[in-house]
Amino acid sequence: MQRASILLVVLAIVLLIAGCGESPVTMTTVAPATTAAAAPTATAGVTTTAPDLTTITLAETTTTKPKELTAATIVAGLKAAGLPVSEVTEYTAENGPNELLGGPGQHAQKVNFADSKLEVPSDSDGTVEVFANEEDAKKRKEYVDGISKEMPALGYYIYQAGPYLLRVTYSVPPVRASDYEAAFLHILGEN
């Protein structure tokens, strides 16, 4: 009974320390050889693996924020994922098509690309935009969604994750648009 109390105190201390740490914690306690045999069990994070060995493994308690990515890095990731990305154009405030790039509440980065599987690819088949914050990206998504509903011929599938937006023309088949979405979310660590 006293041994169980000590084990519970040690477990509580390990849990407390693990909550402050950045990596998994594994603690092994070896009991004297006189302990009676027991079948392997797993309850509440404690696994008994042998009659004289108890192993406690605590999962990592910290989360890792995905590193900040650029629009160009995301487009390169889409291509690396096997998507038919070609004709990549990276815009700056100097060569941006609509003078929005870098303006207040607007995208800070923009990269267009063509989908080479389309009959007539265009460098505006897809776009990745990066905003200063999630709220600005959400406003842009709502704006593009509104245009897409009013003028489907000019419409885009649009996907948002935090301050990142991916737009893919409606000319791309829905299945491939879903592939773009899945790769985009994977690059950002969202799935």
pLDDT band for 4, please (50, 70, 90 cuts).
very low
Q: What domains lie within the chain, and their CATH numbers?
A: 2-58 (no CATH), 71-187 (3.40.1000)
Q: Which residues on neighbouring strands pair with residue 126, listed in sequence order?
A: 113, 168
Question: Which pLDDT tens digit goes with each residue over 13-54?
Answer: 433 334 444 434 333 334 444 434 444 444 444 443 434 443
**Amino acid 106: pLDDT:** 79
Question: Which pLDDT tens digit goes with each residue over 112-141?
Answer: 999 999 998 888 899 999 999 999 999 989
Most confident of 29-33, 51-55, 142-146, 161-165: 161-165
CA dist 90 and 96 (Å) reads 9
Look up tokens 């098509």; give the residue. Answer: 97
Q: Which residues on neighbouring strands pair with residue 124, listed in sequence order?
A: none
> What's the mean pLDDT in 149-178?
91
Type of residue found at 56: I
CA dist 132 and 149 (Å) reads 26
pLDDT band for 190, please (50, 70, 90 cuts).
confident
Which phi and psi (to 5°) does residue 118 adopt? Answer: -75, 150
Q: Which residue has the higher pLDDT, 151 or 191?
A: 151
pLDDT band for 9, please (50, 70, 90 cuts).
very low
Is the Cβ–Cβ distance between 26 and 57 less than 8 Å?
yes
Q: Which residue has the higher pLDDT, 83 or 58?
A: 83
